[in-house]
Amino acid sequence: MRLLITAGPTREYLDDVRFLSNASSGRMGYALAEAAARRGHDVILVSGPVALAPPEGVEYVSVETADEMLQACLTALPRADGVIGVAAVCDYRLANRQPGKIKKTGGPLRLDFVETPDVLAELARRKGDRWVLGFALETTEDRAAALEKLRSKHCDWIVLNRAEAIGSEATAIEVLDAAGQTVLDSRGAKTVVADRLVAWIESAAASR
């Protein structure tokens, strides 16, 4: 298969030196890219800024903002059989990025934010005959929220994971299908879970 995988966080700049982001390490996305390449698949890895070396044998595209990630993914999508959306894309950006460096004034600082592009939803909207597997990191009412994300973004499956996985080398995942059924449940080192997930994807994609 030819797989498009997104990984890592994105950044949205407030001014020329400060940005809004999150604590995603990129480990899960990189582990999936490495496992898929090792199993003989062609991988395009679109990654936000992380402290990880790209896995060997993958096509690597480095991006920073949500807009950059979306454009890179749209360029790669026609060559992919399926999408694995692991990236923790920043949901908001400053409505008007400030030039230079915002200075202290001695008073409150009020900023207006607008939503960034929904990379996963946009790829799923354009998927055609491709399949899309999304990731949902939830903190409360996690299962219901993950299923809502699956349906609203038109994914084929959703991987539910939790905040404890952020920055960790281990994870626990539950893969849900459109009917809300658990089709894979796995926990352990992200490298081990990634290999199990890719093996499951191979079977699930073949039976579509």
Number of domains forming the structure of the chain:
1
Nearest-angstrom CA–CA distance, 208 and 203? 9
Residue at 14: amino acid letter: L
pTM value is 0.94
- pLDDT single digits (tens) 129-160: 999 999 998 776 688 889 999 999 999 999 99
**Active centre residues (catalytic):** 22
CATH code of 189's domain? 3.40.50.10300
- pLDDT single digits (tens) 54-98: 999 999 999 999 999 999 999 999 999 999 999 999 999 999 988
What confidence tier does 168 reach under pLDDT thresholds 50, 70, 90? Answer: confident
* Closest C-alpha to 53, from 62, 44, 43, 65: 62
Cβ atoms of 13 and 94 within 8 Å: the answer is: yes
Q: Which domain holds residue 57?
A: 2-103+111-206
